[in-house]
């Protein structure tokens, strides 16, 4: 399968998952609103959802792909089986620990709720119900990485749809009982998330058992040096891959000190994750194997060229998305979420957070590309250092700016944390001689920025005619914005036929 076809399949799966995620979160807002129960549920849902995002976007791939991809088929299948068994046992232990210490974990997730013991108790309850999904989602991610390694992208790309699809069905079923208290409704949704994770695992497991090549051989795990090294690399890989999600988790802790801050941040982040999640899925599933191949063969120039192509693609996705979200923040928040228990005040707060997060979208997207190069070289330590630097910056800046500008300041602190993260990654690549942007990339970036600015100007002008557009009008603005950007990008030379030529080659 060519890289372009692989990219389209992975992109389709990621796009459909994000669309279902939008529908799910719109229904969350309608059913739960943005009050204390919503804050408790979304604070508890943040941790398993963070794991789902990180591993679902290939967070374990940096540890798995280079090692397993270098082994002979039989040895790779045996090691894969050992990894799955060990991870399953470890996750069972962690889940048991979470059940016992959910109260402390609830305080860690939302320290601002310490003065509201009833709400904090709900966080603990919903955490106990939702956390078992982490077992299934993580094991499904390992299986997806093995499928991707063998060029079998279909099941790995489409299986995550089961999670959002299952939650949507659960919300629809619960809405048929309007008299059900919010506390109970949120509890059922937390339990449904664990069942949906199990469905994802079943789909991936069925795909692994099919096919001509046996991907996994189960046995009593042998604690070999290779297995030990791979497992030790697993946690750093998750931290490094999930850097942006960890920044948002830190922001959530800060936002818990503001009424409805946890809910507003959650809903705004879900909008921003659409373009960012698409780029992350493409990077981990398609770009990382290509970079790892170039690193193994010593093709440094090819590695840098692939990195620059990915940067160009990242800018092509993130720059127009960033400006569009900035301009359309209030209409998007109102049209998507303002209904049922979600009021106009909540839409205004979500819009402010969305503005702050959208500013960091291009930098976060570039960091996804930079980190893949370090992963391909096995340089997980540097990637973890960069992630920790971003976490520290996010904590300091979001807390400080939050007291100045409220929830917008918290979101801006998250974006600035992404800037610090990307800056450290760029410095590490420069030290390794792998950061070499050429003139072609610089010109492309300038042209993409110009096309994005033209698009944003057109959308802003249209908004003057209708500051609060309807659902249909907002859809028209989005489609029109895409058309303006596409036309401007083509005319300015930001996208050419030559850009697609390398992607159609066989890997």
Q: What is the pLDDT of residues 131-165, one digit of tens each?
A: 998 888 888 888 877 776 766 666 666 777 888 88
> Rounded mean pLDDT of 318-339?
91
Percent pLDDT > 70 in the chain is: 82
> Rounded mean pLDDT of 178-203?
89
pLDDT of residue 281: 55
Task: For 450-503, write each residue's pLDDT tens digit.
Answer: 999 999 999 999 988 877 888 888 889 989 999 999 899 988 888 776 655 444
Q: Which band of pLDDT confidence, cut at 50, 70 and 90, is reported for residue 507?
A: very low
pLDDT of residue 255: 92
Residue 103 scores a pLDDT above 80 = yes
Judged by phi (left if over 0) then psi (alpha if -120 to 50, else beta), residue 33 lies in left
Whole-number mean pLDDT of the chain? 82
E strand intervals along 136-274: none
Percent pLDDT > 90 in the chain is: 30
Q: 3-state secondary structure string, 406-468? A: CHHHHHHHHHHHHHHHHHHHHHHHHHCCCCCCCHHHHHHHHHHHHHHHHHHHHHHHHHHHCCC
pLDDT of residue 203: 85
> Rounded mean pLDDT of 174-188?
87
Judged by phi (left if over 0) then psi (alpha if -120 to 50, else beta), residue 491 lies in alpha
Q: Which band of pLDDT confidence, cut at 50, 70 and 90, is reported for residue 82?
A: confident
Range name among 34-48, 274-288, 306-320, 441-455 with the lowest pLDDT average? 274-288
Measured between alpha carbons, how far is residue 190 from residues 194, 336, 369 in Å?
7, 22, 33
Task: Answer whether 353's CB lies under 8 Å from 409's CB.
Answer: no
Distance CA 355, CA 268 (A): 9
- What the block records as the tokens of 11 is 């992109």
Which has more pLDDT, 420 or 231?
Answer: 420
The burial class, CB within 10 Å (0-12 / 13-18 / 19+), for 436 is middle
Which of helix, strand or coil describes residue 53? helix
- What the block records as the tokens of 408 is 């917008």
Q: How many CB atoms lie within 10 A of CB 282?
A: 26
Distance CA 67, CA 87 (A): 16
> Rounded mean pLDDT of 46-58?
72
> Rounded mean pLDDT of 242-257?
90
Task: Answer whether 23's CB lies under 8 Å from 166's CB.
Answer: no
> Rounded mean pLDDT of 75-102?
86
pLDDT of residue 61: 63
Cα angle vertex 395, ends 392, 399, to 5°? 150
* pTM of the complete model: 0.77
């Amino acid at each position: 399968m060519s890289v372009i076809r692989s990219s389209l399949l992975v992109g389709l799966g990621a796009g459909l998952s994000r669309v279902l995620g939008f529908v799910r979160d719109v229904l969350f807002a309608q059913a739960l609103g943005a009050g204390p129960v919503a804050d408790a549920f979304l604070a508890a849902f943040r941790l398993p959802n963070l794991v789902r995002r990180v591993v679902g976007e290939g967070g374990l791939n940096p540890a798995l792909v280079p090692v397993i991809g270098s082994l002979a088929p039989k040895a790779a299948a045996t090691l894969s089986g050992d990894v799955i068994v060990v991870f399953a046992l470890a996750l069972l232990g962690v889940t048991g620990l979470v059940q016992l210490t959910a109260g402390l974990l609830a305080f860690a997730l939302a320290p601002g709720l310490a003065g509201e013991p009833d709400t904090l108790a709900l966080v603990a309850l919903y955490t106990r119900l939702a956390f078992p999904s982490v077992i299934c989602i993580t094991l499904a991610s390992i299986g997806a990485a093995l499928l991707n390694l063998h060029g079998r992208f279909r099941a790995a790309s489409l299986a995550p749809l089961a999670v959002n699809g299952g939650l949507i069905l659960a919300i629809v079923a619960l809405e048929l009982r309007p008299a059900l208290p919010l506390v109970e409704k949120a509890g059922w949704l937390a339990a449904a998330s664990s069942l949906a994770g199990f469905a994802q695992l079943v789909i991936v497991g069925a795909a692994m058992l099919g096919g001509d090549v046996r991907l996994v051989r189960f046995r009593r795990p042998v604690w070999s040096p290779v297995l030990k090294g791979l497992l030790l690399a697993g946690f750093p890989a998750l931290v490094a891959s999930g850097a942006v999600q960890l920044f948002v988790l830190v922001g959530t802790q800060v936002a818990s000190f503001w009424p409805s801050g946890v809910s507003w941040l959650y809903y705004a982040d879900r909008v921003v994750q659409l373009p960012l999640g698409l780029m992350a899925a493409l990077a981990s599933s398609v770009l990382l194997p290509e970079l790892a191949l170039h690193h193994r063969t010593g093709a440094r120039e090819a590695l840098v060229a692939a990195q620059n192509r990915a940067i160009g693609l990242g800018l092509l996705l993130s720059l127009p998305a960033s400006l569009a979200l900035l301009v359309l923040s209030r209409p998007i928040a109102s049209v998507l979420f303002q209904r049922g228990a979600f009021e106009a005040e909540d839409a205004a707060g979500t819009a402010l957070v969305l503005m702050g997060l959208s500013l960091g979208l291009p930098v976060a997207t570039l960091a996804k590309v930079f980190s893949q190069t370090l992963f391909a070289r096995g340089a997980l330590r540097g990637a973890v250092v960069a992630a920790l630097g971003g976490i520290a910056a996010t904590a300091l800046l979001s807390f400080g700016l939050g007291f100045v500008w409220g929830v917008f300041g918290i979101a801006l602190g998250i974006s600035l944390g992404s800037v610090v993260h990307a800056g450290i990654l760029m410095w590490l690549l420069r030290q390794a001689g792998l950061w070499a942007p050429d003139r072609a990339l610089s010109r492309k970036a300038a042209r993409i920025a110009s096309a994005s600015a033209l698009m944003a100007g057109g959308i802003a002008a249209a908004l003057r005619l209708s500051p609060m557009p309807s659902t249909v009008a907002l859809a028209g603005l989005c489609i029109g914005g895409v058309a303006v950007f596409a036309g401007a990008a083509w005319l300015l030379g930001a996208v050419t036929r030559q850009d697609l030529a390398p992607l159609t080659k066989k890997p």
